[in-house]
Every structure is written in C-alpha cells, then in structure tokens.
Amino acid sequence: MQVPILKQRDYLIASIQAALTDADLLQLRDALVSQVGTYRSRGVIVDVTALDVMDSFAVRTLRDLAHMIRLRGAETVIVGIQPEVSFAMVQLGLTLEGVSTALDLEEGLAYLDKKLRITAPPSVKKRG
Amino acid sequence: MAEANPHPVPLQKVGGPESTAVLLRELVAHLRQSRTQLREEWARRITEAQLLTAMSKEEIFAEATAVYDNYVDVLETGAVEALQDYARNLSERIIPRGVETHEVIGIVLLLRDVLARSLFAKYRQDFDKLSRVLDAYEPAANRIGSTVAVSFVQERERIIREQQEAIRELSTPVLPVRERLLILPIIGMVDPLRARQLTEQLLRGIRTNRARVVVMDITGVPAMDATVANHLVQTVEASRLLGATVIVTGLSPELAQTLVNIGVDLSKMNTVGDLQGGIEEAERQLGYRVVQMIEEPPVQA
Amino acid sequence: MHSQETTVPVNADIDIVTARQKGRELARDLGFTSTDLALIATAISELARNIILYANSGEIVLSVVENGSRRGLKVVARDDGPGIPDIERALEEGFSTSRSLGLGLSGVRRLMDEFDIVSEVGNGTTVTVKKWRL
C-alpha cells in the first residue's frame, strides 16, 4: 500500500491511510527523503492517525526518516499518534527521541510554521 | 373483565386428570379474575411489612400492578424475558432511592404468599385439586421470584461497577484551565493500576482538549516507589508523543530522591517547584502574558 | 466454549499485519479496553516480526483462555528456526542479534501479563503470552 505524499507550500505531507507493512514503511521513508530534495521542502509531516499499532520497526523507521530528513536540511514532525498507541509505545520503551511530534495535521503545520519562521534566513529582496 | 380461558385444551394430557399446563391456565384465569382484590391485598401487605418505605403508597400500587400483570403473564406463557426487562427497569428506578435487596426479595415472597392464600381459599373444598394446583404453581412462582431477585442484584452490581468507575475517574480530574492547557492534580497514593488509569485519562484528555501543555501537580502524593515513578515518566513520554509538554510540579525531596535513584533521564522531565510556578511556565510556553489590571479610581459624579 | 483457535502462518512481512489484526479482532470480541487492544496488537506484531527475523517462517496461534471467571487471550508464536542459545540473555533489556531495535522479547513481556518461552538450538522457539481482562 503506497502512502500518498502531498506537496503543500514548503512542506511535504504524507498521510498514512491504513496499516503498513515493513516494506511500505521503508518505501515511504525513501520516497520522503528523496522528494524533500526534489521539491526543496523545508518541512515534512507524517500523519499516522490511521495507525493502530506502532511497533519497534515502525518507530525505528520513522525515527530514521526524521534523522535522514534533518541531514537533508528539513524538519520532520510526526502527527496523529493515537493515545492508546502512545501508551503501548512507551510500555515498549519506544519514545521517538529527538523527533518532533504534534497532535494532528493542523498542529503539525503550526509547529513547522513557528519553527521555520524563527530559523528562517533573512529574506533576500529581488531587485527589479 | 377476566373471561373464560380462550385457549384450547392441549392435546397431550400427561400425569393425572389435568396436565400442569391446564392447571396453570386455570390458575391464570383465577388470578386475572381476582386481579383488583389480590393486587390491593399485596400492596397493603407491602406497606404493613414496612417494605419499600422509600416509595409512596401510590407508587407502590402502580408498581405492584405492573409486577402483578407481568407475574401472571409469566405463569401463562412461561417466558420470563418481559418480566426480566421490567424487573431491571424497576431496579434501575428504585436503587437510587435506596431500596435494598431484602425489600425486593420480601415483596416477591409476599406476592407468592398472597397468591397462594387465594388459591387455598378457592380450592379449600377440594384438597386434592389444591395440592395439584400448588404443584403446578410453586415451580413457576419460584422461577419468577428468582428472576426478579437476580435482575435486581445484577442491576445493583452494574450500578456499583459504574460508580466505582466514576469514582476512579473523579479521583484524578483532568482539568482544562485555558485553551490548550490542562491541569492534572494527583492526590493520594498511586499504585500501578491507578497510574495506568491516570495516564489513559490524561492522554484522552490531551486529545479531546487539544492540549499543548499539561501541568501535573504531585504535591498531594505522599510517596512513590520506583515502579510508580517509572509510570510517571512514561506518562510524560506518552504525552509528548501526542505533542503535549508535561510540566511536573510539587516534587517532594523524597520523590526527587526516588527519581534520581532509579536513574530517570532528567532531560525528559520539565519540573517547576509549585503549581503556581507550573501554570506560569505553561502560560509562558503557550504565549500568554498575564497582566494585572490597574484598578481605576472611582469616577466622580 | 471457546475451543476455536485462529492460526496465522507467518512467512512474509504482510503476515505481521494480518496476525496483529486478527489478534486485535479477537481481543475486541473478548471486551478488552482500547488501550489493551493496542498493547496486544503491538505484542503480536513484535512476536511475528521475531519469527520473520530469526526463523523466516512460523505461525501465530490465537485463542481464548479462561481461568475461573476471568477470560483472556493467548498468543503462541511458534517457529522451527535455529532456536535461541541463551534465553536469559535474549530477554535482557536491549539485547538483539538482529537489526531490530532490540526491544523484542523483553518488550513483549512488559506488554502482556504472562510470558513463557521454550527454545532449543536447532529445534525452533515457542513463545506463549497471555493477557487477562481487567
């Protein structure tokens, strides 16, 4: 099952629609890491609202994804982790350290807007 | 009002002059005929026995009528479902008013007694027949009695379970104090079960209130062992996964020691001395600035 | 009477998803809370993944268990893989010989109420876990 990736403003938004296999997850990671360069995106949002399980593989893949995207010069935020899923994750000791999280897509966008505005380089005026 | 039995006589006649079914049918006809009188008699005896004291005479009479009719229906059809439903519904209404189990069992036994006495009166000339009628009546009456009692007790248990659940939830209220800000005051001992409930409640609260910051005040927690302290850390971590920051306030010296002893990663813990400081920090993080209003001098007329 | 078992063969990563979804359905029918459903599904996911990682193939067997008035879900993860030479070590926090996060078995133990493992080198591994309704 392929995850659709939308491009909106400076951001890439991947909304996971259904349970993903390990191969799907790796494909998502690779697609985002590649497209973030293609579209010169500054932020990536991965919406996991539809996931009812985040096991060690899923968490590790998302963490790797976030770190790889940071190395490519963009910020990642994981949004929509369900309360039950987060409970199970911490029981397993999977805390997504060093990865930003937000409640939902809206909060994720607000987070990136705020974060990237602060770190944005001074704008260069076009002459003419 | 009550008429002759409209049902045809059953084809099979087993054991003796009349089958149980025929006897029950006769019995039902009799109970329908004597409905007004027996129902009043029953209601009177309920009052006399000081049962259902929480209810008025009129209420007792109304319920007695309904139970009486249901009772006769069960004798007629042998199906207890309708009575069961009625008994549950009745229990749901009377339990909050303090009606006790012994009262419910008491009134059912009284009805059994009232009806049996009326059968004695009716068949006192024919002892043989009386004995056969009672043989047919008693198993059915016992079944009805236990149906009503069991329905009541089940309803009671259900209410108790609900109340326990409610008390558990009340014991740790998740309070929205400002937009995006929740306060979770924890008071009393925390065991692993409560820690888990508290975490689940908080996580749901974060989602429903779209909270960004949570102030968890543990001033009221007398002590905590390593297990519970670990749960506390997990609560903080799970909240972060939903995108909310937890500020812990009111850590006692003992708790601070426990947390250090179990090697909690302090970089994950956002702590502020007391609740007031915690709320101020939360407001700062949310971008609020609280400004005291300068009192206006009274306007001169 | 709940003698029926559900067996999910585990041969590929899609089977991990199937196994945890079947487990979640059965647990939901048993009346587990939504939090427990997440814990159970996550545990099954880890167990199925271990089969793929260490043994290539095996099966997950789901069934209902009863103990007096309590009911619960039993998950058996079975494979004919190489087996685990040192179970104690395999259960240590963070131990893993494969590329996973290494939270596999010790993590599963934390998610469930009962945990049992039988493994023989060359003869495969059977992990049995149970979760009881509160």
| Tens-place pLDDT, residues B106-142 | 998 998 899 889 988 988 888 888 888 888 888 888 8
Domains of chain A, earliest start first: 5-119 (3.30.750.24)
Chain A residues within an 8 Å CB radius of B246 = none
The answer to whether A76 faces chain B, any CB pair under 8 Å, is no
Q: What is the mean pLDDT of chain B?
A: 84
Residues 65-124 of chain C with CB under 8 A from chain A are 93, 100-101, 103-104, 107, 110-111
Residue C42 has what DSSP assignment? H
A72 min Cα distance to partner chain C (Å): 24
Q: How many residues does chain A have?
A: 128
Q: What is the pLDDT of residue B24?
A: 85
Size of interface A-C (CB pairs under 8 A): 72
Minimum distance, in Å, between the CA of residue C2 and any CA atom of chain A: 26
pLDDT single digits (tens) B1-39: 444 444 444 444 444 556 788 888 888 899 899 999 999
3-state secondary structure of C32: coil
Chains contacting A (3+ CB pairs below 8 angstroms): B, C
User: Which chain A residues touch C if contact means CB-CB below 8 Å?
Assistant: 19-23, 52-57, 59-60, 82-85, 87-89, 91-94
> Between chains, do C107 and A93 touch, taking CB under 8 Å as contact?
yes
Chain B hits for A87, Cβ within 8 Å: 199-200, 203, 238
Give the model's pLDDT for residue C93: 62
Q: Judge whether residue A118 has pLDDT over 70.
A: no
CATH 1.10.490 in chain B: give the residue spans. 20-164
Residues of chain B with CATH 3.30.750.24: 175-286
**Span B30-82, pLDDT tens digits:** 989 999 999 999 999 998 988 888 888 888 888 888 888 888 888 888 888 88
How confident is the model over B230-241, as a mean pLDDT?
91
pLDDT tens for each residue of B160-202: 877 877 777 667 788 888 889 999 999 888 888 888 889 999 9
Q: In the predicted model, is pLDDT for residue C124 greater than 50?
A: yes
Domain B20-164 class in CATH: mainly alpha
Domains of chain C, each with CATH number or no CATH: 5-132 (3.30.565.10)
Put simply, the answer to whether C41 touches A52 (Cβ < 8 Å) is yes
List pLDDT tens digits, range C35-94.
999 999 999 999 999 899 888 899 999 999 988 778 899 999 999 888 887 777 777 765
Is the CB of residue A21 less than 8 Å from the CB of residue C17?
Answer: yes
Q: Which class is B175-286 in CATH?
A: alpha beta
Chains that touch C (3 or more CB pairs under 8 A): A
ipTM comes to 0.89
What is the interface size between A and B, counted as CB pairs within 8 Å? 51
